[in-house]
């Protein structure tokens, strides 16, 4: 399937989802749907680096919070429309991702992972000490009463996240089928061999880190308007990091469809568990599922299904 055709189909599915949800006439569906869509973007973004090149990023929360806090910062200076905020958030996170990658990607993969973990702690320290964006007390972001075009603000946020999700998934699929994607796969399978065959590994890894970090920042940018009150502890919550790793791992890391399946599945389970049990228990479920899947089904659901289909043909 050509990428343009895929993009059109993705847009059509997105539109169908939006109108389907509008039919329900219940704001809660938009609130819950927003969270799931946000996880689709985060999981897809994580997978561009983690799944395609094999470099594990534990700092999803850091990139996400960077996007969210750039929104808070700009909101205090001069409120811009959300699409601009998303671009700015993406830019900030992308630049930080590039800087991190430049310093640590020349070393073994483990060092990059550890550095991303530490990055989250340090950015949180910076935000806690920065009074302009609320410090440790957090910041209130008053959401405008009405949204452009649609009117209902939560529907507007939902639509924006839906557009982001469609863009993220299309980007991931384009990368997968391009020369860039083959380069990434070569790095994942055997970096030394790739380097020896003339794949510009450092440059490719930097592209992946920047893209992935940027997308995470874009997912974070509308978040302050969604939540209304942003504090460092919730913005840097470990839940983002765990979910964005668990979703691709459970769905399958080699193609764009894995993170999508994982995010839909885990996101829905968590929405249900948060309402019915408690939010701490649902995090425990995610952790246990992650460990169980990496041990038992290392290729994820998609890999498992593919293996089954292949076995039936043979």
Partner 1 sequence: MYIQFDLLVGALVAGILLGGFYAAVTVGVSISFGILDIVNIAHPGFIILGSYIAYIANQRLGIDPIAVSILVLPAFYALGVLIYQIYHVSFEKRGQDALRGLAFFFGLLFITEVALILVFGVDFRYVEASYIGPTWHFGIVNLPLRLLVPCLVSLVVLAVLQLFLTKTFIGRAIMAVSQDQLALQLMAADPVRIKRIAFAISIATCSIAGACLIIIQPVEPSIGREYIGRIFAICVLGGLGSLPGALIGAMLLGIVESITSTFYGPSWAPAVAFGFLLLTLAFRPAGLLGR
The token pair at 114 is 């550890």
Least Cβ distance, residue 108 to partner 1 (angstroms): 9
What span, in angstroms and rounded, lies between the C-alpha atoms of 92 and 196? 33
HSE, CB side, 13 Å, CA atoms: give it for residue 114.
6
Least Cβ distance, residue 6 to partner 1 (angstroms): 27
Exposure string for 116-139, b = 16+ CB within 10 A, e = fewer: bbebbeebbeebbeeeebbeeebb
Beta carbon nearer to partner 1, 232 or 267: 232
Task: Count Cβ atoms within 10 A of the Cβ of residue 294 and give its class: 0-12 exposed, 13-18 middle, 19 or more buried.
Answer: middle
Q: How many CB atoms are closer than 10 A to CB 147?
A: 19
CA 107 to chain centre: 25
Residues that bind partner 1 (CB under 8 A): 50, 54, 56, 58, 103-104, 107, 109-111, 113-115, 117-119, 121-122, 124-126, 128-129, 136, 238, 241-242, 245-246, 249, 253, 280-281, 283-284, 286-288, 290-291, 294-295, 298
What span, in angstroms and rounded, lies between the C-alpha atoms of 44 and 171? 9
Alpha helices in 138-256 (DSSP H): 153-177, 179-189, 191-196, 201-220, 223-227, 232-235, 238-251
Beta carbon nearer to partner 1, 104 or 171: 104
Least Cβ distance, residue 246 to partner 1 (angstroms): 8
CA 171 to chain centre: 13
Q: Give the number of residues written for the chain.
A: 314
Closest CA to 286 of 218, 294, 158: 294
Least Cβ distance, residue 188 to partner 1 (angstroms): 8
Write phi, then psi, for 199 (nearest 5 degrees). -75, 125
Least Cβ distance, residue 113 to partner 1 (angstroms): 6
Least Cβ distance, residue 187 to partner 1 (angstroms): 12
The three-class DSSP label of residue 147 is: strand
Least Cβ distance, residue 288 to partner 1 (angstroms): 6
Beta carbon nearer to partner 1, 1 or 280: 280
Least Cβ distance, residue 80 to partner 1 (angstroms): 30
The three-class DSSP label of residue 59 is: coil
What span, in angstroms and rounded, lies between the C-alpha atoms of 117 and 5? 38
Beta carbon nearer to partner 1, 111 or 132: 111
What span, in angstroms and rounded, lies between the C-alpha atoms of 18 and 50? 30
Beta carbon nearer to partner 1, 155 or 191: 191
Tell me which DSSP letter residue 281 carries.
H
Least Cβ distance, residue 260 to partner 1 (angstroms): 19
């Amino acid at each position: 399937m050509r990428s343009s055709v895929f993009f059109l189909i993705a847009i059509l599915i997105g539109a169908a989802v939006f109108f389907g949800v509008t039919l329900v006439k219940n704001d809660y569906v938009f609130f819950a749907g927003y969270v799931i869509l946000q996880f689709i973007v985060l999981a897809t973004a994580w997978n561009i680096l983690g799944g395609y090149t094999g470099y594990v990023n534990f700092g999803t929360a850091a990139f996400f919070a960077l996007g969210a806090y750039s929104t808070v910062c700009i909101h205090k200076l001069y409120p811009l429309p959300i699409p601009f905020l998303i671009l700015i958030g993406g830019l900030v996170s992308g630049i930080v991702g590039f800087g991190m990658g430049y310093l640590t990607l020349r070393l073994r993969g483990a060092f990059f992972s550890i550095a991303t973990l530490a990055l989250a702690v340090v950015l949180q320290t910076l935000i806690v000490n920065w009074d302009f964006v609320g410090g440790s007390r957090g910041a209130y972001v008053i959401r405008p009463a009405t949204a452009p075009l649609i009117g209902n603000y939560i529907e507007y946020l939902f639509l924006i996240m839906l557009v982001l999700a469609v863009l993220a998934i299309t980007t991931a699929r384009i990368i997968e089928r391009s020369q860039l994607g083959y380069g990434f796969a070569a790095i994942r399978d055997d970096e030394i061999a790739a380097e020896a065959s003339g794949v510009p590994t450092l440059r490719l890894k930097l592209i992946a880190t920047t893209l992935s970090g940027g997308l995470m920042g874009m997912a974070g940018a509308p978040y302050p308007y969604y939540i209304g009150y942003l504090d460092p502890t919730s913005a840097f919550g470990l839940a983002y990091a765990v979910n964005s790793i668990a979703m691709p791992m459970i769905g399958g890391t080699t193609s764009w469809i894995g993170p999508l399946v994982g995010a839909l599945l885990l996101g829905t389970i968590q929405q249900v568990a948060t309402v019915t049990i408690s939010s701490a228990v649902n995090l425990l479920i995610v952790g246990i599922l992650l460990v169980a899947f990496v041990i038992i089904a290392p290729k994820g659901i998609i890999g498992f299904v593919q293996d089954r289909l292949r076995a039936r043909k043979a």
